[in-house]
Amino acid sequence: MKRFKPVSVKNNCPWKRRKSVIHTPLAVNTNASRKEYTSTRANQPTSSSPPESADIIDDHDVPVFSPEAQHSEAYRRNLNSVLNWDKVRDQLLNANVEEEAMPASSLCSLCKEQEPSLRCQYCGPRQFFCSKCAHDLHAERNQFHIMELWKDNRFVPLFPNHGVIECGHCCCTRILKTFKLVDAFGNQHLKEVAVCECESHAVTLVRCQFWPGSPERPSVGFHFKLMDLAEKLFLHSQVSVKEFSELLLEMTPPLQPNFISSMYAILNSGCFEEYRISYSVYELKKLKESLPSNSLKVVLMYDIACILSRHLKNSSQEELLSDVDLAIPIFHCYGHKASCQVQFSPRRTSNIGLTDGEGVERFWSFLRQFSAITKEMSVDKRNDVLTDASLHYGEHLFHKFGPALLAKLRRASTLLSTVGEEIRKLIVSLPDGCDLDTVRQWIDIELSEIVPSENGVLAT
């Protein structure tokens, strides 16, 4: 008979600095095992008897453990949850399918007399109306509820022409203007809004709880709750404006119309600032205030100089662009569209030579080496280390200014002569009448064809 040793369970508690060992003997009935063992030996077949393959008898007891006993409590809870959901799965599916049909022998939820032909899930569950009650209920209020018409054994979206959206102001210059309005759920509507000459259309949209898509003569408005959602997703979950716009399109049912061709273009045109333009505007103001006179020409190289330029023009701050040329750093420039490259490329900006504008990126590349070192530090020590590293980097650049400027001067002189010779050879190979003035005209024509115009004037 095989003997079983006691089971030992070692429990190590590091926080108590001690180890404990628990011995658990196996409960085996020795007498029963001996009798069973004896009977097994007695019933063993002899060499002359035929082998029995049907029954296999072990010579010792093997404890049998239930599979459920080996599962943890968390596993059993998850298993029970899955089984409970499986029990009601068919009922949930049937209930969902049944609610997508018009109930038989139902009456209008408002008048309780007519047979319903419409439903409005925005009003609540199982809200079915006749045509008259639905129009009366949504004419002056609930104007952005999307009702559904029961047609051909299915519900289809219905966008009736509800009442005019008023802001509470009435004068002799009042007119009705159609706007493309996006409600709090991302649905697009064509609505008539009462506007007048007493205030701009953008202000009128704000009074109606819609944020205008542009400051002057807007045609698109976004509900305040939708803008709040976009802001929270951007700041808390880092959801970009492009991804948010794509999400709204994905949530729109296929049968609902899309009146806005590119929601991302409108949101990213200054209606919703994805980038903190205020930082760069503050730095530009501070730089111009520190200049001794206005005779000094400034070239500001910024990764999104195109957006900064458009923001300053739309916000009536164009005076900040006086005596200032904007350019995009060379490595970031090729990631922009063609019109931005033509306007803000450093290779097309005068008086900056071969400056690439990537000095800040080199500084970040230097500081990136300290990320692993400062990760475990406290805040004050991390600030001290990064401050010392920045001062060291500044001293390093200061000592390199002399040799670097000399090397750049020599390279510029060589390139000037080489490029001048190549241009002369190219002009000679061109048809008669082509000179440097003709090439400059070609550059102006390219600029006028690629860069969009603003109010008929070339955008510069």
* Each residue's pLDDT tens digit, 247-296: 888 888 777 778 888 888 887 765 655 556 778 888 888 888 888 776 77
1: Cα within 13 Å, side-chain hemisphere: 19
- With left for phi above 0 and alpha for psi between -120 and 50, is residue 433 left, alpha or beta? left
Q: What percent of the chain has pLDDT over 90?
A: 15
CB 290 within 8 A of CB 298: no
Residue 453 has a pLDDT of 53
CB 191 within 8 A of CB 210: no
* Each residue's pLDDT tens digit, 296-349: 788 888 888 888 888 888 888 888 888 888 888 888 888 888 888 888 888 888
* Each residue's pLDDT tens digit, 354-413: 888 888 888 988 888 888 878 878 888 889 889 988 998 898 889 888 998 899 889 988
Q: Is the pLDDT of residue 436 over 60?
A: yes
Beta bridge partners of 22: 9
Q: Is the pLDDT of residue 420 over 70?
A: yes
Q: Compute the mean pLDDT over every residue in the chain, rounded to the nearest whole number.
A: 80
* Each residue's pLDDT tens digit, 192-241: 899 988 888 999 999 999 999 888 889 999 999 999 998 888 877 878 88
Residue 56 has a pLDDT of 46
Residue 269 has a pLDDT of 67
- Cβ neighbours of residue 414 closer than 8 Å, sequence gap 6 or more: none
Residue 312 has a pLDDT of 86
Tell me the chain's radius of gyration from C-alpha atoms: 39
| Closest C-alpha to 38, from 59, 15, 65 | 59
Q: Rounded CA gap, 161 and 138, in Å? A: 10
Q: Is the pLDDT of residue 456 over 50?
A: no
Say if pTM beats, i.e. exceeds, 0.75: no
Q: Rounded CA gap, 194 and 177, in Å? A: 6
Give the mean model confidence (pLDDT) for residues 415-428: 87
Residue 276 has a pLDDT of 62
Residue 211 has a pLDDT of 92
Secondary structure letter of residue 256 according to DSSP: S
Q: Is the pLDDT of residue 104 over 70?
A: yes
Q: Is the pLDDT of residue 36 over 60?
A: no
Q: Is the pLDDT of residue 71 over 80?
A: no
Mark 199-232 as b/e (b = at least 16 C-beta within 10 Å): eebbebbbebebbbbeeeebbbbbbeebbebbee
Q: Rounded CA gap, 178 and 260, in Å? A: 13
Residue 349 has a pLDDT of 83
Residue 6 has a pLDDT of 59
Pairing state between β 175-182 and 220-223: parallel
Q: Rounded CA gap, 426 and 440, in Å? A: 14
Q: Rounded CA gap, 418 and 274, in Å? A: 44
| Cα-Cα-Cα-Cα dihedral sign, residues 313, 314, 320, 325 | negative
Give the mean model confidence (pLDDT) for residues 146-167: 83
- What confidence category does residue 119 fall into, taking pLDDT thresholds of 50, 70 and 90? very high
Residue 280 has a pLDDT of 85
Q: Is the pLDDT of residue 25 over 80?
A: no
- What confidence category does residue 55 fall into, taking pLDDT thresholds of 50, 70 and 90? very low
- What confidence category does residue 3 fall into, taking pLDDT thresholds of 50, 70 and 90? low
Residue 82 has a pLDDT of 93
Q: What are the angstrom distances between the C-alpha of 290 and each of 202, 284, 287, 316? A: 36, 10, 5, 22
Residue of higher predicted confidence among 68 and 109: 109
- What confidence category does residue 44 fall into, taking pLDDT thresholds of 50, 70 and 90? low
Residue 166 has a pLDDT of 84
- With left for phi above 0 and alpha for psi between -120 and 50, is residue 142 left, alpha or beta? left
Q: Is the pLDDT of residue 34 over 60?
A: no
